[in-house]
Amino acid sequence: MLKHLWISCVGFGCLIGGTECSPSGGSTPSAPLSSSRAIGLPQNEPAKEPFVRILLLQDVPSLYLALHGPYEIRHNDVVLQIGDGLPKTRVQAGSAETPSLQIGDLVYEADQLEIVPRQSGTLEIFFETSTGKWMSHRYEGSAVLHAHAPVARASGSSSGNSPATVDLVNVVKLEHYLAAVLEAELYPNWHIETYRAQAIASRTYVLFVMRTFGTRRAYDVHATETSQAYRGIDSFAPGAKSMQAVRDTRGVVCTWPSPLGDKIFCTYFSAACGGKTENVADWFELPSIPPLAGGVRCDYCQIDNGKQVYRWGPVLISKKEIYDTLRSRDANVAALGGLQTIRVGSVSRHGRPRILTLVGTNGQTLDVVAYDFRLALGGYRLKSTDFVLVDRGDSMIFSEGKGFGHGVGLCQWGAEGQARLGRRASGILSYYYPGSSLRRAYE
Ligand SMILES: [Zn+2]
């Protein structure tokens, strides 16, 4: 039986940096927050299932949406319009200095609008893919539009004003969001206990991020692997494994016994650790708390069945490509004049290359974070930073690759390996997050 817990304060001087607790290290690190603060629900208030705000589109000049049923358009809880449905319609921000939003032919003098369907799953959003094709997803909950007025560039700039843009945020209940995340994150044939473990880790992660960023920004998580993959309800079937796992674990989170009491923590997870988990402090601006200290032995991710996540490589990349790629992202790289070789500058507490030293053709050197290096070259090409460097003249070979992702926290393939051996979700979570236990954050 799970103990009821009111999460009154889940912060522990958290400095979120790197990714916001990214599942497989698939994002570009951002600047760390510089302050620590207590975060959590107010005390003496019953905990309820929260809504989560997912950023679907950011700073786009326009977007398309459709509503397949009755809906309302609101601004600050005032209903501005009621409709029975909306065919595929263009939405854009006004070009005047005062922010406004245009939906079809109607212009609203507001910088923010909420579109609230009266029936679930009737909101459809259209996305243009990198190949120029269009696709769409259906979503539960509501959509919030944020307009950004055009910004005047500094005088002397040749390009005039930057255009007005729109952000689109989907607002849904957390449990529903989690079911969609599981659909996108896990393989359909994986064990229900893996689904349950992932549901608890994903829930804890979202609550941690929500309590860390709070109202300081207009969304909680990204819809991509920057946070957790989320593609609406398209692939969703009632009764699916993901829905069962979320229902079975409703409100349950991971906590650890901090000196200030039980707290949730940033439940990092990655696709495969490759043999041993990593310490969070080596990769992200977070303290090395016991559940994220790494060093957990795991060969359960060996079950990858040739998908090359437990072991991968060798991967050969020309020095010219490496140099050109890095130089386009970091002006300091140009000072090397070209790439002569790469050495491991330092390793993490658990032995994974952490800093790479680029040696230029002019003899100069530049240290880069291996995590950034990997993502610049492609997170699917170099599946982790756990590799051995071999210099082959014009190319570098990344050999003996281990694991997929940053390796901190839960190992997803390892969780599946343990589930197939009969381990329950609670056991899987306490294995990868040592010293942690499960609590119920809300009913
Ligand atoms: Zn593993």
Task: Please report the DSSP string for 259-297 in residue order.
Answer: TTEEEE----EESB-TTBPBPHHHHSSS---GGG----B
Please indicate, yes or no, whether residues 22 and 133 belong to a single structural domain of this protein.
no
Ligand 1 centroid distance, CA of 227 (Å): 20
**Does one domain contain both 245 and 198?**
yes
Helices and strands of the chain, counted as H and E runs: 8, 26
Closest CA to 191 of 429, 405, 424, 23: 424
CA of 408 to the centre of ligand 1 (A): 10
Same domain assignment for residues 296 and 421: yes
Cα–ligand 1 centroid distance for 210 (angstroms)? 28
Give the Cα separation of 210 and 49 in Å (integer). 13
Contact indicator for 248, 196 with CB cutoff of 8 Å:
yes
36 CA from centroid of ligand 1 (Å)? 31
Residue 329 lies in a domain: yes
Q: How far is the CA of 396 from the centre of ligand 1 (A)?
A: 26
90 contacts 101 by C-beta, under 8 angstroms:
no
**Residues 316, 394 share a domain:** yes
Distance from Cα 27 to the centre of ligand 1, integer Å = 21
Could you give the 3-state DSSP secondary structure of residue 383?
coil
How many Å lie between the centroid of ligand 1 and the Cα of residue 383?
14
The confidence score (pLDDT) of residue 219 equals 93
Q: How many domains does the chain have?
A: 3
Look at residue 204 in the predicted model and tell me its pLDDT.
Answer: 96
- The rounded Å distance from CA 225 to ligand 1 centre is 19
What pLDDT score does 238 carry? 54
Residues 120 and 145 in one domain: yes
77 CA distance to ligand 1 centroid (A)?
47
Contacts for 254-257: CB closer than 8 Å, 24+ residues apart: 254/200, 254/201, 254/204, 254/291, 254/429, 254/433, 254/436, 254/437, 254/438, 255/5, 255/436, 255/437, 255/438, 255/439, 256/289, 256/290, 256/291, 256/433, 256/435, 256/436, 256/437, 257/435, 257/437
Domain end marker among 113, 129, 163: 163
- 194 and 45, same structural domain? yes
CA of 307 to the centre of ligand 1 (A): 14
The C-alpha atoms of residue 147 and residue 140 are separated, in whole angstroms, by 22
Sign of the torsion angle spanned by Cα atoms 409, 173, 36, 440: negative
On whether residue 229 sits in a domain, the answer given is yes
Cα of 198 vs centre of ligand 1, distance in Å, is 14
What residues form DSSP beta bridges with 245?
none
138, 233 contact by CB (below 8 A): yes
Both 350 and 427 in one domain: the answer is no
Whole-number Å distance, alpha carbon 273 to ligand 1 midpoint, is 4
Domain containing residue 99: 62-163
Last residue of a domain, one of 371, 386, 402: 402
CA of 378 to the centre of ligand 1 (A): 21
User: Do 413 and 364 belong to one domain?
Assistant: no
194 Cα: distance to centroid of ligand 1 (angstroms): 13
User: Is residue 378 in a domain?
Assistant: yes
How many whole angstroms separate alpha carbon 382 and alpha carbon 322?
12
Cα–Cα distance between 90 and 388 in angstroms, integer? 50
d(CA 136, CA 56): 12
What is the 347 CA–ligand 1 centroid distance (Å)?
19
Q: How far apart are CA 194 and CA 187, in angstroms?
A: 10
Q: Give 276-281 contacts, CB < 8 A, sequence gap 24+.
A: 276/350, 276/351, 276/407, 277/350, 277/407, 277/408, 277/409, 277/411, 277/432, 278/348, 278/349, 278/350, 278/352, 278/406, 278/407, 278/408, 279/348, 279/349, 279/350, 279/408, 280/408, 280/409, 281/349
Question: What's the CA-to-centroid distance between 407 and ligand 1, angstroms?
Answer: 8
Say whether both 180 and 300 belong to one domain.
Answer: yes
If you measure from the C-alpha of residue 301 to the centroid of ligand 1, how many angstroms do you get, rounded to a whole number?
4
Question: Ligand 1: distance of its center to the CA of 414 in Å?
Answer: 4
Q: Do 374 and 412 belong to one domain?
A: no
Q: Which has the closest alpha carbon to 403: 297, 329, 319?
A: 297
- At 200, the amino acid letter reads I
Give the Å distance between the CA of 398 and the centre of ligand 1.
20
Q: How far is the CA of 299 from the centre of ligand 1 (A)?
A: 6
Same domain, 191 and 179: yes
Q: Which residue has the tokens 């990655």?
A: 270
CA 419 to ligand 1 center in whole angstroms: 13
In a domain, 225, yes or no: yes
Within-domain flag for 57: no
Listing DSSP states for 43-64 in one string gives: TTS---PPEEEEEEEEEESEEE
pTM for this one?
0.84
pLDDT tens track, the chain, 443 positions: 322 222 222 222 222 222 344 443 333 323 222 222 233 333 344 589 999 999 999 999 899 999 999 999 999 989 999 999 999 999 998 877 788 899 999 999 999 999 999 988 889 999 888 788 888 999 999 999 999 877 755 554 445 567 889 999 999 999 999 999 998 889 999 999 999 999 999 999 999 999 888 778 889 998 877 777 888 877 566 558 999 999 999 999 999 999 989 999 999 999 999 999 999 999 998 999 999 999 999 999 999 767 789 999 999 999 999 999 999 999 999 999 999 999 999 999 999 999 999 999 999 999 999 999 999 999 999 999 999 999 999 999 999 999 999 999 999 999 999 999 999 999 999 999 999 999 999 98
Left, alpha or beta for 275 (phi > 0: left; psi -120 to 50: alpha)?
left
Task: Write out the two tokens for 105.
Answer: 């032919």
pLDDT at 224: 79
Instruction: Please tell me the distance between residue 222's alpha carbon and the centre of ligand 1 in angstroms.
Output: 25
Final residue of a structural domain among 133, 163, 193: 163
402 CA distance to ligand 1 middle (Å): 10
Q: How many angstroms is it from 241 CA to the middle of ligand 1?
A: 23
Give the model's pLDDT for residue 229.
80
Contact in structure between 243 and 250 (CB atoms under 8 Å): no
* Cα separations in angstroms, 144 against 91, 174, 232, 319: 12, 16, 15, 45
At 419, which helix (H) or strand (E)?
Answer: helix 412-420
- From the CA of 148, how far away is ligand 1's center (Å)? 43
State the distance between the two ends of the chain, measured CA to CA, in whole angstroms.
Answer: 13
| d(CA 413, ligand 1 centre) in Å | 6
Q: Measure the CA–CA gap between 269 and 247, rounded to whole angstroms.
A: 21
**Type of residue at 419:** A
CA 384 to ligand 1 centroid distance, Å: 13
Q: Is residue 226 part of a domain?
A: yes
> Ligand 1 centre from 183 Cα, in Å?
21
So what's the pLDDT on residue 99? 81
Using the mean position of ligand 1's atoms as its centre, give its distance from the Cα of residue 404 in Å. 9
Q: How far is the CA of 195 from the centre of ligand 1 (A)?
A: 16
